Amino acid sequence: MLFEQGDPAQVYYVVERGMIKLAKVTPEGAEKVIEMIRPGESFAEAVMFMKKGRYPVNAQAVDDSSVVILKNRPFLDLLETDNALALRMLAHLSIRMHGLIQEVEALTCHTAIYRLINFLLNEQERSASTSFTLGAPKHVIASRLGITPETLSRLLHQLRSDGLVAIDGARIRITDMTALRSRLEAF
């Protein structure tokens, strides 16, 4: 666990290896994964611009991970003197916000199968191969997609039965990319 929701935010992070899940715990005690952070990606940097300066989520390593810790105050001082860096940071945060808006749209406007296919196509693009290993446990992926682990398993088996993917544990191979993309576009 790197930090818990409500902890004072004095640093932000960049993932070197592994994966970090950002999650909220509902009042009922259920965990909802908000985002999965991968190597080369940063997180918790937006909090340094907020007055209260408290982390709004929990951050926990999903597997063996390594992160770089950057202190907020020195970075804010640097942003005040380096306009180009400040603009890059603004661009980075804007891109991240746009991605999260797309996630909210997907979760509220699309079906579970659409979200799963979109996730698989994004994983394929990230790996640059039609065969890839899921980077997180299935219950974490299910939470990220807003479905139960049982629904995730059922939908993966449906895609396998339809001849669109092959599944070997956490290893997925897209067997018919054209048909999978067509199914996504049909929604």
Can you read off the two tokens belonging to residue 166?
Answer: 């092959």
CATH of residue 127's domain is 1.10.10.10
**Quick one: which H or E segment has residue 114?**
helix 112-127
**Per-residue pLDDT band at 119 (split at 50, 70, 90):** very high
DSSP 129-177: SSEEE-SS-HHHHHHHHTS-HHHHHHHHHHHHHTTSEEEETTEEEES-H
Residue 177 pLDDT more than 90? yes
* Helix, strand, coil share of the chain (percent; to 5): 45, 25, 30
Residue 99 is predicted with a pLDDT of: 86
175 and 98 in one domain? no
CATH of residue 74's domain is 2.60.120.10
Q: How far, in Å, CA of 160 to CA of 158, rounded?
A: 5
Q: Who's near 11: CB < 8 A, 6+ residues apart?
A: 44, 69, 70, 71, 72
End-to-end CA distance of the chain: 38
Residue 25 lies in a domain: yes
Can you read off the two tokens belonging to residue 160?
Answer: 């396998």
174 and 119 in one domain? yes
pLDDT mean over 61-83: 95
Residue 4 lies in a domain: no
Q: What is the percent of the chain with per-residue pLDDT over 70, rounded to a whole number?
A: 100
84 and 118 in one domain? no
Are 15 and 40 contacting, i.e. CB atoms less than 8 angstroms apart? Answer: yes
118 and 96 in one domain? no
Our count of domains for the chain comes to 2
55 and 40 in one domain? yes
19 and 96 in one domain? yes
Q: Which domain holds residue 42?
A: 11-108
Residue 26 is predicted with a pLDDT of: 86
Pairing relationship of beta strands 11-17 and 66-71 according to DSSP bridges: antiparallel
Across the chain, mean pLDDT equals 93
Residue 165 is predicted with a pLDDT of: 97
Which of 108, 141, 160 terminates a domain? The answer is 108
